[in-house]
Chain A
Amino acid sequence: MKSRFTFLLGGLVLAAMQLAGAQQTGGLRLPKTVEAGTAFSIQSAGSGKAVLYIVGPGQVLRRNIQLGEPTFFAPEDLHNAGHYLAALVAGSSTENGAFDVIAASPPAALSFLAKPSRLAVNLHDGISGVVYVFDRFQNLVIAPTQVSFQLSGGVGAMQTRTVLTHNGVAWTKMDSAAKEGGAQFVARVGDAASTRVIQQVPGDPCHLRMSARPSGQRLAVETEPVRDCSGNALPDGTIVTFTETYDGGESTADVPLKRGVARTDMPAYRGARISVATGVFIGNEIHWGKER
């Protein structure tokens, strides 16, 4: 109900200002800019009583004032950044003006979007970070502000970038490290900081080798630890496919890595050819009785 009244009042004031646009006398002295959350005053000229309206984004203020005296506004009166209109209504005459409320300093909060949260190792510009800078009233800080990005952790060297915001936004790109592990991605503006965790995981397999040995009536096949091209072991759960072909027949098994290796039993056929693959990467091949 209160907000409806505020909007109605704001609308009426704006309409009055439109009608009275030609009656400006210049007696209203407004600051050009006001920092959000700071005290300020508006000086009027003349004598007698009047009503001063301040209309801005999501907010309307009304003051009964004495013309010729300054009107003071407390620090918390205006805290939404944006363009504000001021209208002084005295009897049938209206004066109006405008001023801007800008974001408070220093920046107090950051919205930090770091993507992706999980990526393969050794990717150039694979990690992107975007920061939106806000003041303590959640106003976007439009003024150019230095943002420091820092990616650290794991085995790789720490990467640092300093970027100026443009229209309240700063962004950068970082490389993922050569070794797997979690990395801290921190964005900082003054005392305000925000941290994201980036999980750097092994890349595509680069080393896949298996061996086979008799196991009762069957054949036990087992891989060596499967690694990517940087030497990182692929995580447990990665599927390794064993395929055995023999006289017109075939046996296959999709086996997850457990403790770094995949192992299973296959039928033992003399002369069978056994191959191993994970994803689209193919490992070695064994002719049962002869390895190549």
Chain B
Amino acid sequence: MRNGRLLAIVIAVATVALIVVGTLWPIQSAVAMAGSGSSLLRDSGSPQAAVENLADEIGQQAWEKAYSGLANRSEFTELEFVHDLTGTYPSLRTYATLDSSELRPLHASADEAQIQLKLRWSTVVGAFLDTRDLRVVRTGDRWGVLWPIVKEPRVPAQVIPVNYLRWDVIYRGPEDDWGSQDVEAPHVRIVDMHPVDRSGGVVIMGELLNEDVVPAFVTVKATLLAKNGSALATEDSFDKISHILLPKQVTPFLIAFHDVALSEVDSVHMEPSATLIAASADPVIEIEDQHLNPAPGASLSGKLVNQSGQVVSVAHVLGTFYDKSGQLVWVADQYVDRALLPQTPVSFAMSLPADIASKVSSERATTTTYSSGRFQ
């Protein structure tokens, strides 16, 4: 009884102490979450403090404050500044929140400094990094950031004729007799599959073909089986696949098992599934200037060009990499954070593991697109 009372007192004292510490010396993310504003921001008496303040204001989406603190705000409007960070058209940036920021001083003198600002944005499909090299200049006793504005191109007013091609589906109704006919599910086939040992786990890579004449929503599930036939683990490809496959389209897929060693696996049970869905054949995305960049920092870079008239909100690029014998060696992907405007190239770069990059002889890139307010 006495011990319990002592414990309660200790917990109460510790709680009060932590509240006091958290209020007096809050961490930056807590400041941003609390929306406390400028009262907790640093004085812009140094280049680092000026950039840190800007990053905090961006994180709080305090656009007016962030814009008013810029040293070159006469070069662009506040709206252009906001569009630079959140996108003019709906895109991944529009729905992203700032997860963290990182500063790296590059150069400093008495009146000017260069600082690299890395903004790490989080989205529903993962994080993306926005890196800006900032010039910071001294004005009196304060420092101001010169923001390197990236203006999104505007598409001139025009009419782009599109031969609209779309599939719609009517399924059987619940009142139909059990023998009644229903629409046939699309026929898909795994045309390539390789399990490999990777970082102590198992990675299964392959390619899936829609061999039908209708669009399919596809997923691939894999079950690793032990020698005694028992299931070791089951995983699916999640977003390492293009889920919408038009007729005769091929998608790579990658399924990762982190906690199973390849030596434990006797066989793999693959389960591709396909559902008939309504889909559109547009937009057509060309992937231009694909280059395989060697290690260090191995990557596949290129540009996406939207050949249709519709603005694409989110583009997902999948890269399939083959060795000299044509065998699949890796699958990588990347989401593009800016909207794809008609006929306007947007760059992408997806990284490759260094050991894989040395084996790659050829590659193939494909895209899946999502437009705001419409699936595919």
Residues of A within 8 A of B (CB): 111-114, 116-119, 132, 194, 196-197, 201-202, 204-205, 234-240, 243, 248-256, 258-259, 264-267, 278-280
Stretch at the interface among B77-85, B110-118, B281-289: B281-289
Which residue of chain A has its CB nearest to the CB of B192? A280
Q: Which residues of B contact A205 (CB under 8 A)?
A: 248
Q: Is the CB of B290 within 8 A of A264?
A: no
Stretch at the interface among B24-32, B61-69, B180-188, B253-261: B180-188
Is B211 a contact of A279 with CB atoms below 8 Å?
yes
**Assuming A249-B289, A255-B284, is B247 touching A196 (CB within 8 A)?**
no
Least distance between B181 CB and chain A CB atoms (Å): 5
Task: Point out the residues of chain A lying under 8 angstroms from B288, CB to CB.
Answer: 251, 267
Is B366 a contact of A204 with CB atoms below 8 Å? no
Q: Are B290 and A252 in contact (CB under 8 A)?
A: yes
Cβ-defined partner of A117 (8 Å) among B183, B302, B367? B183
- Do B287 and A237 touch (CB < 8 A)? no
Q: List 17 A-B contacts (CB under 8 A).
A: A118-B212, A234-B213, A234-B247, A235-B247, A237-B165, A237-B281, A238-B246, A239-B247, A239-B248, A249-B291, A250-B302, A253-B286, A264-B307, A267-B288, A267-B289, A279-B249, A280-B250
Closest to A197 in B: B181
User: Which residues of B pack against A, CB within 8 Å?
Assistant: 163, 165, 167, 177-179, 181-184, 191, 209, 211-215, 246-250, 281-282, 284-291, 302, 307, 363-367
Chain A residues lying within 8 Å of B181, measured Cβ to Cβ, are: 114, 117, 196-197
Please state if B213 and A202 are interface contacts (CB–CB under 8 Å).
yes
Task: Tell me whether B248 and A258 are in contact (CB under 8 A).
Answer: no
Residue in A194, A238, A252 whose Cβ sees the most chain B Cβ within 10 Å:
A252
Of B167, B212, B284, which is in contact with the most chain A CB atoms at under 10 Å from its CB?
Answer: B284
Per the bound structure, the CA–CA distance linking A239 and B213 in Å amounts to: 10
From DSSP, what is the main secondary structure of chain B's interface residues?
Answer: loop
- Closest-by-CB residue of B relative to A238 is B247
Q: Is the CB of A237 within 8 A of B307?
A: no
Chain A residues near B182 (CB, 8 Å)?
117
Collect the chain B residues with CB atoms within 8 Å of residue A111's CB: 177-179
CA distance A118 to B289 in the complex (A): 40
- In the bound assembly, the distance between CA atoms of A197 and B180 in angstroms comes to 11
Residues on B with beta carbons closer than 8 Å to the beta carbon of A280: 191, 209, 250
A253 and B247: CB pair below 8 A? no
Identity of the chain A residue whose Cβ is nearest the Cβ of B215 in the assembled complex: A237
Nearest-neighbour CB distance to chain A for B363, whole angstroms, equals 7
* Cα–Cα, bound, A258→B284 (Å): 12
Given A114-B181, A196-B181, A237-B167, check contact A250 B248 (CB 8 Å).
Answer: no
A204 to B365, CA, bound (A): 23
Q: Which residues of the other chain, B, contact A132 by a CB distance below 8 angstroms? A: 179
What's the Cα separation between A280 and B209 when bound, in Å?
A: 8
Q: Which 8 A-B pairs have the closest CB atoms?
A: A111-B179, A256-B281, A279-B248, A253-B286, A239-B249, A250-B290, A118-B184, A238-B247
B291 touches A248 (CB 8 A): yes
Q: How far is the CA of A196 from the CA of B285 in the complex (A)?
A: 39
A41 to B214, CA, bound (A): 60
Question: Which residues in A have their C-beta under 8 angstroms from that of B307?
Answer: 253, 264-265
Question: What's the least CB distance linking B90 to chain A, in Å?
Answer: 23
Per the bound structure, the CA–CA distance linking A230 and B181 in Å amounts to: 27
Contact in complex: B248, A236 (CB < 8 Å): no
CA distance A120 to B163 in the complex (A): 26
**Chain A neighbourhood of B212, CB < 8 A:** 118, 201
Q: Closest approach, in angstroms, between the C-beta of A204 and any C-beta of chain B?
A: 7
Contact yes or no, B213 A117, CB < 8 A: no
Further 14 A-B residue pairs, CB within 8 A, beyond A250-B290, A253-B287: A117-B182, A118-B213, A118-B214, A197-B181, A204-B211, A205-B248, A237-B215, A237-B247, A238-B247, A240-B248, A251-B288, A252-B366, A254-B285, A256-B246
**Shortest CB distance A170–B (Å):** 13
Task: Give A252 to B163 CA distance when docked, in angstroms.
Answer: 21
Measured CA separation A250–B364 after assembly (Å): 9
Which residues in A have their C-beta under 8 angstroms from that of B211?
204, 279
**Most chain A CB within a 10 A radius of its CB, from B167, B209, B288, B363:** B288
Contacts of B289 in A (CB 8 A): 249, 251, 267
Closest Cβ of chain A to B281, distance in Å, is: 4
Contacts of B250 in A (CB 8 A): 279-280
A119 / chain B contacts, CB cutoff of 8 Å: 184
Are B365 and A252 neighbours in the complex by a CB distance under 8 Å?
yes
B363 adjacent to A250 (CB under 8 Å): yes
CB-CB under 8 A from A248, the residues of chain B are 291
B248 A264 Cβ-Cβ under 8 A: no
A256 surroundings in chain B (CB, below 8 A): 165, 246, 281-282, 284
Q: Are A264 and B286 in contact (CB under 8 A)?
A: yes
A235 adjacent to B213 (CB under 8 Å): yes
Question: What separation, in Å, do the CA atoms of A156 and B307 have in the docked complex?
Answer: 41
Of all chain A residues, the one with the shortest Cβ separation from B286 is A253
Q: Do B286 and A251 have beta carbons less than 8 Å apart?
A: yes
Q: What is the CB-to-nearest-CB distance from A169 to chain B, in angstroms, rounded to a whole number?
A: 12
B184–A116 CB distance below 8 A: yes
Question: Which of chain A's residues have a CB closer than 8 A to the CB of B363?
Answer: 250
How distant is B348 from chain A, measured CB to nearest CB, in Å? 13
Partner of B286, one of A196, A202, A252, A278: A252
Residues of B within 8 Å of A201, CB to CB, are 212-213
Measured in the bound complex, the distance between the Cα atoms of B177 and A132 in whole Å is 13
Report how far A201 CA is from B248 CA in the complex, Å: 13
